[in-house]
């Protein structure tokens, strides 16, 4: 008997004088048989298929999450860099992000999938796409600030002196002591505000019709790609069935 995994990609099978033949091991099927993806299979080959099916473990799941984080970061970078360099935000990049995340999780779990892998995949895809709004927003802010600093406003010296000497000094005092002190957010509060704004960005952009709605729909399609890529591998095994009894051989003479 060969130790290679049995292959049951088609439903083709052969028969012999002694009855049906297993297409994997080429042995006559006696007693009981199964159907694996529609193809006949003896009990021994069916057991091999069951044993070689990937088992979902905590280690595989954690490894899938770790690889998924890497895929989400890569997707976030791709989405952000494309938007910053070109100045164009194309929602179709969400499809690539979903593909990256799904493939990364499946690679980390070594082919194992399932409902919890799918939930993680769509969560990472959404986070990667939505959080890309933060670096793109920061880049846009820096660009606008630089353009503002390049604008030089000149005031004639006479007007400047008259403005400085006018009034009774109340304005300066108010500016020095009357103005309310600015409230500074802590580092944690600032990060939290950025994260919240990033995660909510796909819905905040809905007011930008029709681009916001189209972007959200494409994001959902990207999440669906990640969902399908991390689905559990299904192997259809039906049986057991009773094998046909070989026809009796007539005695010679």
Question: How high is the mean pLDDT in each 10-residue block of the chain (253 residues)?
Answer: 51 49 78 78 80 82 95 91 75 89 94 93 93 82 75 52 49 48 64 74 70 82 94 79 58 49
Q: At CA 35, angle to CA 34 and CA 41, rounded to 5?
A: 60
Which uninterrupted H or E stretch holds 36?
A: strand 32-36
Contact 54, 111 (CB under 8 A): yes
pTM, two decimals, is: 0.63
The residues that bridge with 120 in the sheet, in sequence order, are none
User: Helix 93-108 to helix 58-86 angle, to the nearest 10 degrees?
Assistant: 160
C-beta neighbour count of 96 within 10 angstroms: 16
Torsion, CA 95, CA 100, CA 101, CA 102, rounded to 10: 90
Write down the domain spans for the chain: 14-52, 58-148+187-229
Residue 151: predicted pLDDT: 59
Report the SS3 class of residue 132.
Answer: coil
Residue 253: predicted pLDDT: 46
Structure-block tokens of residue 125: 């895809």
């Amino acid at each position: 008997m060969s130790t290679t995994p049995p292959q049951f990609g088609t439903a083709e099978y052969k028969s012999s004088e002694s009855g049906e033949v297993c297409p994997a091991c080429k042995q006559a099927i006696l007693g009981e048989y199964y159907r694996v993806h529609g193809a006949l299979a003896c009990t021994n080959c069916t057991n091999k298929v069951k044993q070689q099916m990937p088992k979902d473990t905590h280690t595989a799941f954690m490894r899938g999450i770790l690889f998924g984080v890497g895929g989400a970061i890569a997707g976030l970078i791709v989405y952000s860099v494309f938007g910053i360099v070109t100045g164009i935000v194309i929602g179709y990049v969400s499809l690539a992000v979903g593909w990256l995340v799904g493939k990364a999780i499946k690679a980390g779990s070594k082919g194992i999938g399932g409902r919890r892998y799918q939930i993680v995949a769509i969560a990472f895809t959404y986070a990667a796409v939505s959080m890309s709004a933060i670096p793109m927003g920061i880049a846009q802010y820096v660009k606008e600030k630089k353009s503002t600093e390049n604008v030089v406003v000149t005031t004639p010296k006479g007007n400047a002196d008259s403005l400085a000497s006018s009034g009774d000094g109340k304005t300066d005092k108010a500016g020095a002591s009357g103005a309310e002190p600015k409230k500074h957010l802590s580092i944690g509060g600032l990060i939290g505000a950025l994260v919240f704004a990033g995660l909510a960005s796909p819905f905040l952009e809905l007011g930008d019709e029709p681009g916001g709605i189209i972007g959200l729909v494409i994001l959902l399609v990207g999440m669906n790609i990640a969902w399908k890529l991390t689905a559990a591998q299904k192997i259809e095994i039906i049986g057991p069935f009773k094998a046909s009894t070989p026809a009796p051989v007539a005695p010679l003479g």
